Structure 1
Amino acid sequence: MSSRQPRWTQTWLGGVRSAGVDLGHPGERLGLPEHGSGSVAGFGRRLGALVIDWLICAWAITQGLLRIDPTQGSWIPLLVLAAEYILLVGTIGTTLGMRLLGIRVAALGGGRPPFLSVVVRTVLLCLAVPAMIWDRDQRGLHDRTAGTVVVRI
């Protein structure tokens, strides 16, 4: 085998991009721009927004703003987070954490996603595993199932 050609295992382990195939930028298949407003939001912003939202929900519970005893069940903070996502993403397309980091949830056709899509997306997000399975457009399984994409504002 020539030293100039990569071994087949190197291209397989490195993915399609290492084989020299140009897949374009994330979101190109969806008709989204590469940079700026409307482009696909990166993993860091999405994770940061989720952490901010989680901290806001935990703070609201510990401060007694929601009148919920967090010792009564370990599911309470997750249910509060789910309610925040359904309420805010379903009405304005973004949560508090997303807004702070300049991202929002959009339907594939543009605009806010339908309410049922928001509910499906939120349930899958709370399961965590679907959100960790990504495609080349940086959409988690929860976004693919709901027909949504997280974009920059």
Structure 2
Amino acid sequence: MDKRQAMGSGPSGPRAAAETPGMGNVGVDVGYRGERLGLPREGPGSLASTGRRLAAIFVDWALCGLIAYGLLADGQTRAANSWTLPVFVVMSVLLVGTLGRTPGKRLLGLRVVHVSGGRLSFPRAVVRTVLLALAIPALVWDRDTRGLHDKLADAVQVRA
């Protein structure tokens, strides 16, 4: 056995190593992203891709930066930078807690829902947004690429 295969690296990667019989795991099938949550593999209701989620948060952050610059900071860049995060938190709490999506998510065809498939409650939207604003929980992912902020709020971002 090649040392790279034993470590789960190299051309085969960790997933292939986990699924390879004889590696001490007898053909483990890890399934597709979102399968453990009961989500479809693709199409509406499937787990949102990482690229779309990042693009949506970029759009939302830019929009909040514009709001902070134009309405709250009187055109001063330094003051606008200090207002962008509070505007982002307020926007996210209000819109995810009521509509299940922000402007960036709507533009990219995403929705935030409870893992059961229902609407995310307002208190869960608050927890999710506060953790997202801290940044670190959003950078800790599971194998379904759900951030810690989504896991703790029992939320999932799906394609609309």
Instruction: Give me the whole-angstrom Cα distance separating, in 1, the residues matched to 2:80 and 2:151.
Output: 31
Q: What's the CA shift for 1:8?
A: 1.8
2:6 to 2, 5, 8: 8
- In the TM superposition, what whole-angstrom CA distance separates every residue of 1:7-36 from its partner, at most 9, and x where no partner exists? 422x26843443323211111011000000
The answer to whether structure 1 residue 59 and structure 2 residue 57 are counterparts is no
The total of aligned residue pairs comes to: 148
Runs of 4+ displaced beyond 3 Å: 67-75
Q: Kindly report which structure 2 residues correspond to 1:2-151, keeping only aligned pairs within 5 A, or say none.
A: 2=1, 7-9=5-7, 11=8, 14-20=13-19, 21-64=28-71, 67-68=72-73, 71-72=78-79, 74-151=81-158
The alpha carbon displacement at 1:113 in A equals 0.6
Residue 106 of structure 1 aligns to which amino acid in structure 2? V
CA distance in structure 1 between the partners assigned to 2:148 and 2:70 by the alignment: 34
Structure 2: 5+ residue stretches without partners? 20-27
What is the aligned-residue RMSD (CA, Å)? 2.1
Greater CA drift, 20-29 or 86-95: 20-29
Distance 1:109 1:19, change over 3 A: closer
Contact 1:106 1:150 in 2 (8 A): yes
TM-score of the superposition, structure 2-length normalised?
0.84
Q: Deviations over 1:92-121 (max 9, x none)?
A: 000000000000100011121111110110
Residues in 2 aligned to 1:8 and 1:114: alpha-carbon distance in whole angstroms:
44
Give 5+ residue unaligned stretches, structure 1: none
Provide the rounded CA distance (Å) in 2 between the counterparts of 1:90 and 1:7.
Answer: 45
Matched residues in 2 for 1:84 and 1:109: separation? Answer: 24
Distance 2:89 2:50 in 1: 20
Counterpart residue identity of residue 45, structure 1: R
Query: Partner residue of 2:159?
Result: 152
Identity among equivalent pairs (%): 47
Distance 1:100 1:58 in 2: 17
